[in-house]
Structure 1
Amino acid sequence: MAASTHTVTNQSPPLTGYDVFAADRALSEAVARHLDPVLLPVAAAELSVLGEAAGSAQAQEWGAQANENPPKLRTHDRYGHRIDEVDFHPAWHRVLGKGVGAGLTAAWATPGGHVRRAAGFMVWSQVEAGHGCPLSMTHAAVPALRAEPDLAAEWEPRLTSRVYEAGLRPAASKAGALLGMGMTEKQGGSDVRGNSTVARALAADGEYALTGHKWFCSAPMSDGFLVLARAADGLTCFLVPRVLGDGSRNVFAIQRLKDKLGNRSNASAEVEFDGTWARRVGPEGRGVRTLVEMVAATRLDCVLGSAALMRQAVAQAVHHATHREAFGGPLIDKPLMRNVLADLALESEAATTLALRLAAACDAAEAADGSGESERAFLRLAVPVAKYWVTKRCTPLVVEALECLGGNGYVEESGMPRLLRESPLNSVWEGSGNVQALDVLRALQREPSALNAFLVEVGRARGADHRLDRAVRDLLTELADLSGLEARARRVVERMALVLTGSLLVRFAPAEVADAFCSSRLGGDWGHAFGTLAHTLDLRSVVERARPVA
């Protein structure tokens, strides 16, 4: 009898059929820690429903389909009429619709909304990251619109709705709406003050006509866009609807879609305005100030998005090592592989813990009694610090997690290449690393209350770990020296991120996680690659904590 050549053995089963939220102990514990106990049962149940959907084979297939079938631009219809529409695969609409339905744009309308929404955003982003762009911008637009109360009253109920309606129609006729944004221009990039789009005031108060070219306009099939343009009194924020109230199309000429490294499911466009109708948001000349809170919210979403990618990469690596055998036993039992997995799990838990602490600060900052002032000051520094560090840690972690799968991880079907292509995005979006570092320097120099709030938060762990205490002293020494501060900015921000994360883990994480973090990231007992933790640490417990399915 001939030997069988097609029997498949020693391959890991797909990581499906599990609750992405409940299986993530760092995330579920953070939600329990930061939410009011009265709110927790309902929130946890909702997040588990979303987690089960995210862990389903169906949702994972949608994510793959949305990326394998990227959006396509149609500038004209068959008769030559300009339409400027972008067509998406049905899977995109299913994933985006599920995100809207799960309340991922509704944080401002829900008690404990930022923590609940942050956890949901992390869970659902693990299905497919590209659709997080319109969800994030729609969520973040709310505080900017509140600078113009009449606009906020009109648009906020649409943006916080849990109903997704695709297609271009007047926003007033839709049960829910999405917003995109167009800030950067080819001559300026991150330097938005180099903006050259011109805004000409019309006869009606608050109405303008815009003329200019936006180099990056995200989610061009949204119902409206927040943009910057130069009015008579300076740079100003405007709301540009895609469809006007009478049903006619606003002037919104999509020149091309960007061919991007990752984020393939999502459309990013170059657009031109030529007499495009817009409504002013906030006073003339105060455009950057109007958008401050929106920028902070989208930067936090960069942290959340990177933490989600890291978690999914670690989950895949641990799952593979659990089921794959080599050299006489499961990979996960090999001391060297365990060191690598523990190091990855440690980085992922650190990012998740930091991200949820920021979300909790957002909830506290909205307290109606004014008690949130210290949390607002804390966020002023903590958000750019976290944005800088977590987004930069994402790519090397995903690369190492992919390597845990060996050649299988390099194959597109594994899903790991998609995670890898996505991993650099959040460090570029909403200001690259240098922009974040310079923003931290501005806050340090101009807003002493921000540094005080940051140090108060870090100081809550004083005396709990000698390595953390020493790292805090070293940071204070670094901050006391103002010479060459800009050239040292990345070094300073990195140290701030590590001591803040160390403080959180020492207070809230299991002892083995806090010990490993302080030993490696703060104590220096670490190499230059993942998998170089001290062998005397409790690495098995760290890995077990990260296991996605028991």
Structure 2
Amino acid sequence: MATSTHTVTNQAPPLVGYDVYTADRALTEAVERHLPEELRDEARRELSSLGTTAGSAQAQQWGVLANENPPRLRTHDRYGNRIDEVEFHPAWHRLLGHAVTNGLTGAWNRPGGHVRRAAGFLVWTQTEAGHGCPLSMTHAAVPALRTDPELAAEWEPRLTSRVYEGEDPLPPAGKSGVLFGMGMTEKQGGSDVRANTTAAVPLAEAGTYALTGHKWFCSAPMSDGFLVLAQAPGGLTCFLVPRVLADGGRNVFRIQRLKDKLGNRSNASAEVEFDGTWARRVGEEGRGVRTIIGMVAATRLDCVLGSAALMRQAVAQAVHHSAYRSAFGGVLIEKPLMRNVLADLALESEAATTLALRLAAAYDDGSERERAFLRIAVPVAKYWVTKRCTPVAAEALECLGGNGYVEESGMPRLLREAPLNSIWEGSGNVQALDVLRALGREPGAMDAFLREVGAARGADHRLDGAVKDLLTELADLEGVEARARRLVERMALVLQGSLLVRWAPPAVADAFCASRLGGDWGAAFGTLPGTLDLGSVVERARPVD
């Protein structure tokens, strides 16, 4: 019963009923910048339509329901037959289905496809990040399968299809659209996949094998197919494991349990047992890592995009709340200290978005120079952007005060999700070591990176000084492994600084260089120099006027 004392005042209205795409100025400007003029109108219409749905009350409720009703494992049917099926809430299927029908698994054969898909992924996964996992792996499976033209011809049209058929266990040939998962990690090796012990024994039919072993993490186990690594006679090899065989029989794909995770709860991650499981070889025996590296690079970019999406949603919520909430005699957004915090958060979000879309544009370009740039810029970005996501989510939550700590605000879900992308597809140390590997073995990669950074030479003295310091550090690589994280952090910051100096509004670029590159930046958010135009930075990040 309502009482006379229960009058609700001074609360921000829900951030709902808005276009997530057009409200994100950094994102819309990046899409316009990286797409040819003839593609911009169509992309704008598509992304605005997706953004309007993402900002709707209905889609936001789908995200809440998918998170509150996690997947359930059914190992057997009522008669005792092994079925190994994962059941999802209808809201999950609505989210995933809408993503597929909007082309978020089909970037490879479309003009400007990677930029358009990256922007859509960043927009749509703000509804609920968990379903981004199968989207990412389905998208990323294409470059691995292209090492075998026959397999690519069979599977790629279904992987890039805009038809969503759920997880119905049907033969691949009977489906217009399919989803892919992956299973590389084993309990004894983790990121060290060369320590895998799953064995692959050749069968009579050329290119087919029987796999026996255990996968400690298998993402999206309801998928139609999986790329896995196993030890063949010739060494570690990549394989395609279909969930259902061509004759309609179920492959041996025994789901032992679903992981109980910190976040990402709407998505299923499983432990899987292979026991004579039928598989098709992808690429050559002994070349498993090289075969699957294209998939790894694509999913690492999606980790950057996923973190950028989480940051953008966290910042949007914080700025929106502060624009309506009053305390100590005024609206929070007008308070100098809160404005400093919000501006600092907005800088981190814009830098992440700008870098992520630049990487997507490099995929669309496809030139030798851009491929070399991606070789080093992807692990650099994956290391830094995903690392920054958790403190951004935590600080944004704090902007809402006690309201932000309550589940109904949605902020705890963002905070629990934030660490995932830093771990998935290689944690921080793995990314840093990968950058060192590129420095040592692929001089063209570093040359492409420095050319990109050098495009802003002379535009900001703080950026020029940071680049000079980086070159000094790169000239002395003795004992570099122990300081690899610091080196990669510097590389990420000068790359982001270069991009923002060239493309962001002066207030944003000035604030970024003054704090991240100029040395006047504290360990916590909200320590930007007071002489900066912070009001313009915050207003740019505001999702709704």
Give the structure-1-normalised TM-score: 0.98
1:296 alignment partner in structure 2: 297
Matched, 1:389 2:384: yes
1:439 alignment partner in structure 2: 434
1:369 alignment partner in structure 2: none
Q: 1:450 Cα deviation (Å)?
A: 0.3
SS at match of 1:84: strand
Matched, 1:475 2:476: no
1:110 alignment partner in structure 2: 110
What code does the residue aligned with 1:407 have? Answer: G
Matched, 1:91 2:88: no
Q: Which segments of structure 1 move beyond 6 Å, counting only runs of 4 or more?
A: none
1:352 alignment partner in structure 2: 353
Matched, 1:462 2:463: no
| Match runs of 1:107-256 below 5 Å | 107-166=107-166, 167-256=168-257
1:261-288 per-residue CA deviation (whole Å, 9 max, x = no partner) reads 0000000000000000000000111110
Q: 1:484 Cα deviation (Å)?
A: 1.2
| Match runs of 1:33-112 below 5 Å | 33-112=33-112
Q: 1:213 Cα deviation (Å)?
A: 0.2
Distance 1:442 1:364 in 2: 24
Distance 1:527 1:204 in 2: 62
1:250-271 per-residue CA deviation (whole Å, 9 max, x = no partner) reads 0000000000000000000000
What code does the residue aligned with 2:189 have? Answer: G
What code does the residue aligned with 1:395 have? Answer: T
Q: 1:403 Cα deviation (Å)?
A: 0.2
1:5 alignment partner in structure 2: 5
Q: Give the stretch that moved more between structures: 379-388 or 476-485.
A: 476-485
Distance 1:70 1:168 in 2: 20
Count residues with an aligned counterpart: 543
Matched, 1:484 2:479: yes
Distance 1:482 1:413 in 2: 49
Matched, 1:282 2:292: no
2:495 alignment partner in structure 1: 500
Q: 1:525 Cα deviation (Å)?
A: 1.2
SS at match of 2:276: strand
SS at match of 2:38: coil
Q: 1:212 Cα deviation (Å)?
A: 0.5
What code does the residue aligned with 1:327 have? Answer: F
Q: 1:109 Cα deviation (Å)?
A: 2.1
CA RMSD in angstroms, aligned pairs only:
0.8
Distance 2:106 2:330 in 1: 47
Distance 1:113 1:3 in 2: 56
Distance 2:183 2:522 in 1: 42
Of 392, 398, 409 in structure 1, the residue corresponding to residue 393 of structure 2 is 398
1:153-181 per-residue CA deviation (whole Å, 9 max, x = no partner) reads 00000000001101111111111000000
Distance 1:211 1:109 in 2: 35
Distance 1:482 1:164 in 2: 49
Distance 1:3 1:505 in 2: 52
Distance 2:159 2:109 in 1: 10
What code does the residue aligned with 2:428 have? Answer: G
1:325 alignment partner in structure 2: 326
1:309 alignment partner in structure 2: 310
Distance 2:278 2:495 in 1: 45
- Name structure 2 gaps, 5 residues minimum: none
Distance 1:234 1:413 in 2: 50
1:358-379 per-residue CA deviation (whole Å, 9 max, x = no partner) reads 00001011xxxxxx00000000
Distance 1:459 1:494 in 2: 17
Distance 1:341 1:431 in 2: 30
What code does the residue aligned with 2:273 have? Answer: E
What code does the residue aligned with 1:389 have? Answer: W
Q: 1:3 Cα deviation (Å)?
A: 7.9
SS at match of 1:430: coil
Distance 1:3 1:192 in 2: 62
Matched, 1:338 2:333: no
Distance 1:66 1:168 in 2: 21
Distance 2:520 2:454 in 1: 23
Q: 1:328 Cα deviation (Å)?
A: 1.4
Q: 1:460 Cα deviation (Å)?
A: 0.3
Give the structure-2-normalised TM-score: 0.99
Distance 1:453 1:46 in 2: 32
Distance 1:125 1:90 in 2: 17
Distance 2:471 2:292 in 1: 31
Distance 1:189 1:530 in 2: 33
Distance 2:124 2:532 in 1: 33
Matched, 1:32 2:56: no
- Name structure 1 gaps, 5 residues minimum: 366-371
1:376 alignment partner in structure 2: 371
Distance 1:98 1:445 in 2: 43
SS at match of 1:131: helix
SS at match of 2:191: coil
Distance 2:103 2:44 in 1: 14
SS at match of 2:37: coil
Of 501, 506, 511 in structure 2, the residue corresponding to residue 511 of structure 1 is 506
Distance 1:524 1:242 in 2: 53
1:449 alignment partner in structure 2: 444
